[in-house]
Amino acid sequence: MNENNYLPKEFMGCETKNGGFTKNTPRKWTKEEVDWALMLKAKGYKTKDIARFIYRGNVSVSIKLKRIGKEDGLTYNQPHRDDKYFHNDLFLKYINPKTVLDLFSGSDSYYSGKVDELYTNDNDEMFVTYYTEKAEKLVCKLFYDNCKFDLIDIDPFGSGYDCFDLSIKMARKGIIMTLGEMGHKRWKRLDFVRSHYGIDNLLDFTSINIVNEIIKIGARNKKKLTPIFLNDYRNISRVYFEISPLKVTEQWD
């Protein structure tokens, strides 16, 4: 298990008196602990894993997450979703793709019925998708088969960094990336962005600096990545790149 997923001890609530109704000594839920549990859930971890990461019992975590779900209802994260779809629409009109690879499509891909050819993928077998693979494994297969797509959308829970290079190689007109690693900033955790983007302080931990590093990945693949939209939401950012050939003008002296 990833050590970085464990709840920092300073976020833990204080223990309360056991009234005899529970096996364990009850512990108050802090806002930081609730947010941490939701972050792990968004990454796709099961209740038993979340419980281990936040030092709680399975039942406690299961009940808490169900209560949060009832409180949030269908409106949870709705503003972000609406804005994402709005910019998706604008970007589709801008680059006019015919073929799309939706790497983390879930149950219903936004692109369904909007493009000529849609290839969906989700690692969860409960969803009916064209592919059912881990995204980083799928892009390796598709690149080996010399597949090309006008647009690739990488919208994971967490970071899709491991898919960036090959996706840039396969994308012809555009690529969209959701930067889930921005959520690390609220916990003041730099380990991931330090090793992947060369960011080693919180002041430099910005979506713009991450985007600039992704542009460098494009340049290594002889492609120019031009950000058309860069939207910052709570704990994530989403960037829309137009892709064009990179013209190298340097010559030998």
Residue 10 φ/ψ, nearest 5 degrees? -70, -15
Superfamily of domain 78-245: Vaccinia Virus protein VP39 (3.40.50.150)
Quick one: pLDDT at residue 75? 41
Nearest to 115 by CA among 132, 147, 93: 93
pLDDT above 90 (res 241): yes
pLDDT tens column, 107-155: 789 999 999 999 999 987 778 899 999 999 999 999 999 999 999 999 9
The set of residues, in sequence order, having a beta carbon less than 8 Å from that of 97 and lying 6+ positions away, is 115, 149, 150, 151, 173, 174
Quick one: pLDDT at residue 74? 39
Task: Point out the least confidently predicted range of 11-25, 57-71, 169-183, 200-214.
Answer: 11-25
pLDDT tens column, 148-172: 999 999 999 889 999 999 999 999 9
**How far apart are alpha carbons 233 and 188 in whole angstroms?**
17
Q: What fold does the segment set 3-74 form as a domain?
A: Arc Repressor Mutant, subunit A (1.10.10)
In the chain, ranges of CATH 3.40.50.150 domains = 78-245
- Residues 101 and 121 sit within 8 Å (Cβ to Cβ): yes
Packing angle, helices 135-144 and 161-170, rounded to 10: 20
For residues 82 and 238, the model is more confident at 238
pLDDT tens column, 65-104: 877 765 554 344 566 788 999 999 999 999 999 999 999 9
**How far apart are alpha carbons 132 and 60 in whole angstroms?**
32
Task: Point out the least confidently predicted range of 5-19, 48-62, 165-179, 182-196.
Answer: 5-19
Question: Please, what is the average pLDDT of the chain?
Answer: 87
Quick one: pLDDT at residue 60? 87
- Residues 153 and 101 sit within 8 Å (Cβ to Cβ): yes
pLDDT above 80 (res 3): no
Nearest to 94 by CA among 248, 250, 243: 243
Quick one: pLDDT at residue 157? 82
- Residues 244 and 150 sit within 8 Å (Cβ to Cβ): no
pLDDT tens column, 21-76: 444 557 888 888 888 888 887 777 888 889 999 999 888 888 888 777 655 543 44
Share of the chain above pLDDT 70, in %: 89
**How far apart are alpha carbons 232 and 208 in whole angstroms?**
10
- Residues 170 and 228 sit within 8 Å (Cβ to Cβ): no
In the chain, ranges of CATH 1.10.10 domains = 3-74
| Predicted model pTM | 0.74
